[in-house]
Amino acid sequence: MAKINQNIFRAYDIRGIYPADLNGKVASKIALALVDLYPDIQKVVLAHDTRKSSLPLSQAIRNTLVKEGKEVIFLGTAPDPLFYFSIFHYGFDAGIMISGSHNPKQYNGITLHVKKKGDIVEKDLEAIKNLVSKERKAKIKKQGRIVVFDPEKDYLNYVAKKINLKKPLKVLIDSGNGAMGYLPEKVFKKLGCRVETIYGEFDGNFPHHLPDPYEGKNRIDAEKAVLKGKFDIGFVYDGDGDRVAAIDNLGRSVTGDFCFLMLARQALEKWQGPIVHDARVSKAFLDEMKEKRIKTYFSISHHTAVIRKIIKTKAVFGGEVTLHFLFPKDYYLCDEALFASLKIAEIASAKESFASYIDTLPRHEVSPEIFIPCSDDRKFKIISKLQKFLRSKKYDFVDIDGARINFPHGWALCRAANTTPIIKCRFEADTKKHLIEIEKESLEIFKGVGVPITKIVNKELGLSS
C-alpha cells in the first residue's frame, strides 16, 4: 500500500493536493474508516464542489459506500448550504462533503459529518487517520444503492420563510464559479429582489478569480459591478458556500469586523445572551459588547470549534471575522454563507442607505492579515514556543488560538492556520501611529521565537521589517 501523507489529516478536516496527497484510493479508505468508526450509519449524504478533482473523489467514495451496503444520498455538485440542510432537515445519518473551499484549485478536501455529533474533528479525526493507515478493502455485504437527491426546492421554501426584508433590494451575486452557482439568485428572487449573478457557471478552473472572498483582489469584479449597476448590495461567496463577503451600495467591501458587529447587534435585538467570536475580532466590537453588558467568548478559529462554544455558552450568535457566521436562534447550527447573506440583506433593507449605516460603525486601525509560509510540522511548535515566551515575560495575552497580545493601544495576533501550512498575523490599534508601533514590537517578538519572517512590507502603513 502506498504511503499516505499524514499531514492531510488536520485538526478540523482533511485537506491535500490532488492527486499527490488526496486521490481516489485515499478517499475510498477515508469512507471505509468512517463506516468502521460509526457502523450504525446507513444513509450518507454526499456532495462535492466544482473542482475538477471533486467528481473522481466523489465517485470513489460513492462506489465504496455502496459496496459497504450504505445508501448514498447523492447531491452531485452542491454547496454547503444544501449539504448541511439535507443532513439537518431530513435527518440523514451522516454526510461527506468534498471541497477545497477557498484554496487554490490544485487542493481538495473532505469534511465528514455524523448526525448528533457534528463535523468529525480532533480525536475522532485522529481515529479516522489511524484506520486509514490500515489495510482494508470494501466488503460486499448487502449491496447498497445511490439515490440522486435534490433538496433545493425545500431549502428555498425553508430559508425564505425565515427572512423578512423591509423592502426589495437590487442584489449583485458573485459565485466565483463555485458550488453556490445560481442558488443565491433563486433565494433572493423568491424574496422579491432584483438579482444579477456573475460567474454563476460551475467551473473548477476558476477562470475569473479564486473563490475566496476574504482576499480583496477576489472582490474587485463584484465591487465594480455593484457601483456600475447601482445595486443596493452585493455578495461574494467562496467555493463551497461557507463564507460570504458583502459589498455596500457604493461598491465598497464591508469588512468581516463590520459584518460581525452588525449581525451581533441584529441578534441582540431579539435575544439576550452571549456572543462567540474568533481571536481576530476587533476591540471596537468587544468594547461595545462590554458597554451593553453582553458576555463574549473567544474561540478557536474554525466553525466546529465556534459551534461547540456556542452550545456550551448558550450563545445567541457566533462566528469569525473571516466571513463565517452562525445563527443558533434562527437556523440550523451549521456554517452557512447564504443564510448569512440573507441576514445581512435584512439589515440593509431596513436602512435608507447601507453604505451610510456602515459609515456609522465604530472602527479601529487594522492591518491586513499576514500569511507566513511554515510547514505543518513546525507551525504549532513555534506557536507553543511563543506562548511560553509571553508567559515568562508576563505579557497580557489570550491563548485560545495562538497568542493575541494585548497592548495599551491595541493588540497583535499570531496563530497557526488549521487547514494550510501557514502562520497568520494580524494587528489592530486605536491610531495608525500606534498600529505601526505594535506591528514593529510584535514582529520582533515573533522573529525571536522562530516565526519565519524574512521581509514583510505593509505599503499602506509604511511598515518594512
Catalytic annotation, residues: 101
Q: Could you give phi then psi for residue 10, rounded to 5 degrees?
A: -100, -175
Task: Tell me the CB-side half-sphere exposure of residue 102, using CA atoms within 13 A.
Answer: 19
d(CA 127, CA 102): 26
Separation in Å, CA 386 to CA 21, 201, 278, 427, 441: 30, 45, 19, 16, 14
Q: Are 210 and 150 in contact (CB under 8 A)?
A: no
d(CA 429, CA 410): 4
Q: Are 406 and 286 in contact (CB under 8 A)?
A: no
d(CA 348, CA 361): 14
d(CA 281, CA 429): 12
d(CA 315, CA 296): 9
Q: Is residue 426 left, alpha or beta, with left meaning phi > 0 and alpha meaning psi from -120 to 50?
A: beta
Spell out a b/e string for 275-285, using b for 16 or more CB atoms within 10 Å of the CB, else e: bbbbbbbbbbb
Q: Is residue 189 left, alpha or beta, with left meaning phi > 0 and alpha meaning psi from -120 to 50?
A: alpha
d(CA 300, CA 304): 9
Q: Which three cell numbers stand for residue 303?
A: 466553525
Q: Are 429 and 435 in contact (CB under 8 A)?
A: yes
Q: Which three cell numbers stand for residue 35?
A: 463506516
The DSSP letter of residue 444 is: H
Considering only CA atoms, which of 378, 400, 401, 404 is closest in space to residue 390?
404
In DSSP notation, 198-209 reads ES-S--TT-SS-
